[in-house]
């Protein structure tokens, strides 16, 4: 697909229209920009009902006419006929094109948002394989446009009409059947259907969505959408604390010991900063994106806490059918607008006071007091901790199928960076390791932990140690076997200083056993 440049991009668009007769925008000079572009889908009741799918690139809207509309079922391959580029201003057009004019009929703003290419978009267009992500009010996730080369449609004049396929990729927003075109029948801009738009004397351009601008197919969904609109409107009236960089944990393979370490469950969700000031609520991702709209289900529960002004660090989660936090479940819940959970684990600001310099234990005490007594079924929960006994906490969580633990220094301040005062230790499922040695126990005769490694390029690299999960009988058997295999030479490429003293096993690359060791 060869691309023109500058004003030539709109040459065909302008040649087909008499702007003295149609309200469609003539369009300004195309100007390219960096970053995400806009996208729009317009439902177009012309000679045949279709959906115009448009992506901003090079200062114009690349356009395809999709006969049946976009489908969120990856098995559907929707025919998308490439048509002329449109001006960016066309992305806000909703109204009626007079009969007799090119494209005569009713146009509805069916969806809008932003998009980003996966790879170079110009290269994708040239190859006929344009992959991209959509961030819309109705369309989200990854999609692809594929050019069916050799199957283009000939025209009486001009080049053949290019036939493409619009396909949804398998992700959290995909469904096992199309639920888009049947569910959403009204404008995202004005809430009107096609008949209401056609009855208007003049086309309506951009206007704010009214509370009764329902886009759903039944009364219950309409009521829910109306309520969400009101809640979000109230959430953004005030001004809460601003975003600040979040503290991140360093991944380690051993659990720190001592009562000065607090151990919390490691959640599998989205990190989130909740900025609250009365009814004003803003929810930020770890990178500072305002995702209040995406996390709208949590806005009202946070408003009801009546906690004044606060900046709270936490994790947004959803539970799978086994009662565990699960990221894939969370993505599905987000796409369907269902219940979310917010686990609050730190406090950065309280009533205008910066509390990040306080020790963690004091910040958590203030946070728990601020949240008050929360109902068991509340979507807002305080993330409790255990002081010390880290290995027992980890073992218990791993047995129950959770992700692992976060170890936090009780006396450390909050730092908006990756630090070693926060550590994460994951529950590993199963991995094949070489036992290269062991650390002797100080409490009994035999080993305290096994030293594990993996072979890479003929070298045995140290990967960590394991000291749990052995019965008394197995410990005795292992002690006897290790004693027979003991060597003075270290087979590892390098061993951390903190695990010395240690005894070693003299494996060569060709002689190490092939049985996996549980971890």
> 325: which 2 tokens?
């936090």
Spatial neighbors of 346 by CB under 8 A, at least 6 apart, are 247, 312, 313, 314, 360, 363, 364, 367, 414
| Summary count for the chain: helices (H), strands (E) | 9, 25
Peptide bond just before 501 cis, omega within 30 deg: yes
3-state SS class at 506: coil
Q: How far apart are CA 426 and CA 249, in angstroms?
A: 12
How many other CB atoms are found less than 10 A from the CB of residue 49? 15
- The catalytically annotated residue of 43, 168, 266, 294 is 266
> CA-CA distances (angstroms) from residue 385 to 246, 265, 280, 305?
19, 8, 29, 22
| Sign, CA torsion 361/366/370/373 | positive
Give the alpha-carbon dihedral of 87, 92, 95, 96, to 10 degrees: 10
Q: How far apart are CA 7 and CA 194, in angstroms?
A: 32
Using the structure block, give the residue that is written with the tokens 């060597």: 487
266 is catalytic: yes
What is the distance between the alpha carbons of residues 149 and 158, in angstroms, rounded to a whole number?
17
Asked whether 240 and 279 are in contact (CB, 8 A), the reply is no
Q: Hey, which residues are catalytic here? A: 266
């Amino acid at each position: 697909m060869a691309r023109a440049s500058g004003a030539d991009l709109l040459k065909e668009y302008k040649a087909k229209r008499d702007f003295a007769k149609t309200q469609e925008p003539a369009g300004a000079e195309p100007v390219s920009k960096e970053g995400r572009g806009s996208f729009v889908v317009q439902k177009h009741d012309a000679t045949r009902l279709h959906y115009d799918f448009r992506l901003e690139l090079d200062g114009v809207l690349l356009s395809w006419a999709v006969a049946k509309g976009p489908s969120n079922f990856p098995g559907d391959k929707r025919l998308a006929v490439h048509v002329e580029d449109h001006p960016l201003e066309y992305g806000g057009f909703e109204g009626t094109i007079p009969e007799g004019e090119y494209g005569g009929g009713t146009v509805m703003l069916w969806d809008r948002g932003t998009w980003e290419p996966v790879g170079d978009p110009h290269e994708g267009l040239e190859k006929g394989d344009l992959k991209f992500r959509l961030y819309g009010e109705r369309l989200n996730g990854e999609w692809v446009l594929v050019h069916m080369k050799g199957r283009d449609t000939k025209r009486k004049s001009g080049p053949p009409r290019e036939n493409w396929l619009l396909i949804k990729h398998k992700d959290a927003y995909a469904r096992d059947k199309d639920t888009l075109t049947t569910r959403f029948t009204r404008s995202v801009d004005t809430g009107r259907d096609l008949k209401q738009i056609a009855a208007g004397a003049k086309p309506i351009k951009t206007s704010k969505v009214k509370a009764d601008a329902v886009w759903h197919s039944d009364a219950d969904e309409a009521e829910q959408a109306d309520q969400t609109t009101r809640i979000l409107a109230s959430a953004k009236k005030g001004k809460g604390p601003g975003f600040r960089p979040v503290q991140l944990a360093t991944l380690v393979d051993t659990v720190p010991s001592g009562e000065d370490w607090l151990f919390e469950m490691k959640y599998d969700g989205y990190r989130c900063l909740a900025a609250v000031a009365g009814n004003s609520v803003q929810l930020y991702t770890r990178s500072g994106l305002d995702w209040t709209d995406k996390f709208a289900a949590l806005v009202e529960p946070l408003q009801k806490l009546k906690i004044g002004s606060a900046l709270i660090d936490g994790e947004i989660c959803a539970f799978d059918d086994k009662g565990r936090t699960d990221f894939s479940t969370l993505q599905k819940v987000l796409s369907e607008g269902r219940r979310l959970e917010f686990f609050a684990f730190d406090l950065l600001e309280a009533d205008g006071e910066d509390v990040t310099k306080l020790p963690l234990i004091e910040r958590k005490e203030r946070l728990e007091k601020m949240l008050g007594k929360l109902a068991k079924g509340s979507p807002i929960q305080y993330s409790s901790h255990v002081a010390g006994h880290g290995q027992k906490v980890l073992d218990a969580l791993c047995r129950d199928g959770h992700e692992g633990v976060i170890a936090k220094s009780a006396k450390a301040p909050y730092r908006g960076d990756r630090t070693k005062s926060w550590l994460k230790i994951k529950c590993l499922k199963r991995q094949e390791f070489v036992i290269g040695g062991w650390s002797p126990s100080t409490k009994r005769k035999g080993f305290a932990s096994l030293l594990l490694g993996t072979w890479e390029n003929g070298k045995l690299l140290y990967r960590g140690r394991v000291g749990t999960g052995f019965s008394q009988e197995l410990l005795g058997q292992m002690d006897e076997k290790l004693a027979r295999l003991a060597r003075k030479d270290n087979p590892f490429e390098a061993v951390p200083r903190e695990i010395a003293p240690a005894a070693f096993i003299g494996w060569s690359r060709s002689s190490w056993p092939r049985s996996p060791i549980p971890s």
